[in-house]
């Protein structure tokens, strides 16, 4: 035991020595200091990128460009978006940020001012997600960048100074939980519902195409916390043999559409879950603590048949460390983990998910990392 501790101390000392040498080697390099400042500024000003994107969504700039066939000059954009004419030069500066960051592109720019021609701004794969119908993520973007959801993070440092359990960051800022605000404020509730519906319509097309096999062999499915049922409707359309239902709170199901074969059930997943072959969770369990998830999943285990009879739980959520290993994917997963803290949620790695499944009485699981930063998890009783 002592030799192990000694080896650990030697390893730490060696690592610190290497770090110190590296720092000393760059302490006197002006370029290294400027590079460090650039990196610091790049992180510091990330919120400007977000706010530029929010402004593009608010002004519907992507729609303006789409209206002109996918390419538009600043003059053409200005005729479509709501802004004061005196701000047109500022609009040009906004477009410079949005093209530099890849939200839009410039089709013609070289010597544009010299020959009197304006640059033509075009949609990119990113801004294509802000127009159209089936793959339009503008409502989700508007939701996630809304001041009500952004402002709690200004109090993140203060939240860390309080002992757990304490109110989530959202409640610390607004005096009520997100769910309570949605229940009491119809406008905010619509913001949340519109955002989640747009996300469901986008991702479920991919789910059905890339991993539709997870819905094979089942005859009934309940989308737990499924809101207005966009995900359940997509599953029902792709797999007509599956009887799909949505379980959500009463104030949600009362707004559910009526022109669909999906059944809406008012209820509380913490109390009980109606019986079905499969339970489906899309971006739900990351909102809740381990103990809450265990309670929800135990209710699900009571409601589904044995594995041999097709019983399972299908979860769409982040598995930190699963999927592509490039920096952008990994960074997005851990950013989501910090983000979801605003409701006291958590993005789990495989071992953390396994702990929850085992504690809820499930025997096995399979992770299918086919959704970018998210995965499909099949959990078996």
pLDDT, one tens digit per residue, over 273-315 is 999 999 999 999 999 999 999 999 999 999 999 999 999 999 9
In this predicted model, what pLDDT tens digit does every residue of 60-84 receive, in sequence order? 999 999 999 999 999 999 999 999 9
Across 134-141, average pLDDT:
91
pLDDT on residue 351 = 97
**Average pLDDT for residues 128-136, to the nearest whole number?**
87
The residue-averaged pLDDT of 156-177 equals 91
User: Active site includes 286?
Assistant: yes
pLDDT of residue 109: 55
pLDDT at position 115 is 46
Q: Of 40-44, 161-165, 210-214, where does mean pLDDT reach its minimum?
A: 161-165
Does residue 91 carry a pLDDT above 50?
yes
Q: Is the pLDDT of residue 136 over 80?
A: yes
* Six token digits for residue 215: 């819905």
CA dist 247 and 333 (Å) reads 27
Residue with tokens 């995900």: 231
Percent of the chain residues topping a pLDDT of 90: 79
Report pLDDT for 187.
95
Which entry of 162, 286, 329, 355 is annotated as an active-site residue?
286
> Mean pLDDT in the chain?
90
Cβ-contact 135, 152 below 8 angstroms: no
Give the angle 311-372-317 at the CA atoms, nearest 5°.
Answer: 40
pLDDT on residue 114: 46
Alpha helices in the chain (DSSP H): 2-27, 30-44, 46-59, 61-67, 74-80, 88-100, 138-144, 147-150, 156-159, 169-174, 178-184, 186-211, 230-238, 250-253, 290-303, 327-339, 350-359
Query: What confidence tens digit (pLDDT) does each residue in 249-270 have?
Result: 988 898 888 889 999 999 999 9
* Residue of higher predicted confidence among 1 and 381: 381
CA distances from 251 to 60, 144, 148, 347 (A): 30, 22, 20, 27
Burial code (b: 16+ CB inside 10 Å, e: under 16) for 107-121 equals eeeeeeeeeeebbbb
Share above pLDDT 70 across residues of the chain, in percent, rounded to a whole number: 91
Give residue 21's pLDDT.
Answer: 54
Is there a cis peptide before residue 102, judged by omega within 30 degrees of 0? no
Rounded to two decimals, the pTM is 0.85
Confidence of residue 116 (pLDDT cuts 50, 70, 90): low
3-state secondary structure of 266: strand
> How much is the pLDDT for 106?
95
Question: Phi, psi (5° rounding) for residue 161?
Answer: -85, -5
> Which of the two residues, 293 and 118, has the higher pLDDT score?
293
Q: What is the tens place of the pLDDT at every residue in 323-368?
A: 999 999 999 999 999 999 999 999 999 999 999 999 999 999 999 9
315-326 confidence digits (pLDDT tens): 999 999 999 999
Instruction: Tell me how far apart the alpha carbons of residues 337 and 214 are, in angstroms, rounded to a whole number.
Output: 26
What confidence score (pLDDT) does residue 17 get? Answer: 61
- Average pLDDT score over residue span 137-148: 96
Transcribe 292-344 into DSSP letters.
Answer: HHHHHHHHHHHHS--GGGT-EEEEEEEEET-S--SHHHHHHHHHHHHHGGGGT
pLDDT, position 11:
61
Question: How does pLDDT run across 13-52, given as a tens digit for each residue?
Answer: 665 665 555 555 556 788 999 999 999 999 999 999 999 9
Beta carbons within 8 Å of 134's beta carbon, 6+ residues apart: 201, 202, 205
The whole-angstrom separation of Cα 77 and Cα 71 is 9
Do 44 and 101 meet the contact criterion of CB atoms below 8 Å apart?
no
Grade residue 232 by pLDDT with cuts at 50, 70 and 90. very high
């Amino acid at each position: 035991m002592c030799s192990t501790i000694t080896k650990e101390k030697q390893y730490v000392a060696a690592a610190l020595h290497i770090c110190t040498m590296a720092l000393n080697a760059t302490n006197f390099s002006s370029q290294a200091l400027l590079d460090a400042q650039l990196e610091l500024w790049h992180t510091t000003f990330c919120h400007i990128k977000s706010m530029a994107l929010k402004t593009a969504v608010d002004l519907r700039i992507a729609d303006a460009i789409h209206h002109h066939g996918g390419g538009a000059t600043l003059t053409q954009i200005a005729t479509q978006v709501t802004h004061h004419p005196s701000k047109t030069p500022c609009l040009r500066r906004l477009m410079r940020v949005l093209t530099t960051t890849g939200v839009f592109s410039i089709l013609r720019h070289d010597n544009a001012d010299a020959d009197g021609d304006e640059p033509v701004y075009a949609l990119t794969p990113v801004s294509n997600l802000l127009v159209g119908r089936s793959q339009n993520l503008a409502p989700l973007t508007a939701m996630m960048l809304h001041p009500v959801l952004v402002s709690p993070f200004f109090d993140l440092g203060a939240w860390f100074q309080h002992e757990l359990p304490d109110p989530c960051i959202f409640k610390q800022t607004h005096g009520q939980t997100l769910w309570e605000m949605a229940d009491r404020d119809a406008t905010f509730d619509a913001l949340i519902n519109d955002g989640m519906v747009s996300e469901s319509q986008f991702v479920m097309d991919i789910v059905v195409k890339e991993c539709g096999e997870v819905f094979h062999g089942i005859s009934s499915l309940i989308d737990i916390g499924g809101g207005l049922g966009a995900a359940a409707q997509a599953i029902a359309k792709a797999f007509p043999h599956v009887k799909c239902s949505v379980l959500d709170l009463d104030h949600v199901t009362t707004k559910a559409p009526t022109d669909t074969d999906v059944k809406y059930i008012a209820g509380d997943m913490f109390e009980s879950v109606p019986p079905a072959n499969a339970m489906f969770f899309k971006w739900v369990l990351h909102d809740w603590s381990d103990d809450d998830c265990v309670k929800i999943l135990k209710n699900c285990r009571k409601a589904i048949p044995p594995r041999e009879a097709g019983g399972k739980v299908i979860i769409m959520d982040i598995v930190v460390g699963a999927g592509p290993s490039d920096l952008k994917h990994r960074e997005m997963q851990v950013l989501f983990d910090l983000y979801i803290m605003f409701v006291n949620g958590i993005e789990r790695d495989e071992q953390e998910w396994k702990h929850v499944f085992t504690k809820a009485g499930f025997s096995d699981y399979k992770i299918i990392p086919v959704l970018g930063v998210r995965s499909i998890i099949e959990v078996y009783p």
